[in-house]
């Protein structure tokens, strides 16, 4: 298990995580822990610019969902000519 934890920690660090902890949650109800003994807690640093952006847009999450949805609208399926 230690090897797996180290692999997970390395990957999270590679992705920018600065705080990584493995927490024993086996004492929680099975509905809460989903029969998993350990939770992984990590934190990513936020830039001042990002925090200002979120602060200045009251419905930031909804705005991001809307933009993402608009970007993913399917375009007509055009098949390349042979």
pLDDT at 75: 56
Q: Which residue has the tokens 């952006």?
A: 53
pLDDT at 63: 86
pLDDT at 73: 72
Task: For the chain, 82 residues long, give each residue's pLDDT as a single digit of tens.
Answer: 789 999 999 999 999 999 999 999 999 999 999 999 999 999 999 999 999 999 999 899 898 888 888 777 755 555 556 5
pLDDT at 74: 56
Measured in whole angstroms, the distance separating CA 54 from the mean position of its chain's CA atoms is 17
Q: For strand 19-24 and strand 38-43, is the pairing parallel, antiparallel, or unpaired?
A: antiparallel
**How far apart are the C-alpha atoms of 15 and 75, rounded to whole Å?**
31
**How far apart are the C-alpha atoms of 31 and 43, rounded to whole Å?**
25
């Amino acid at each position: 298990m230690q090897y797996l934890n180290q692999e997970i920690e390395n990957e999270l660090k590679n992705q920018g995580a600065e705080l990584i902890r493995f927490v024993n949650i086996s004492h929680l109800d099975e509905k809460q822990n989903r029969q998993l003994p350990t939770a992984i807690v990590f934190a990513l640093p936020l830039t001042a610019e990002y925090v200002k952006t979120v602060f200045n847009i009251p419905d930031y999450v909804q705005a991001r969902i809307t933009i993402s949805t608009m970007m993913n609208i399917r375009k007509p399926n055009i098949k390349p000519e042979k």
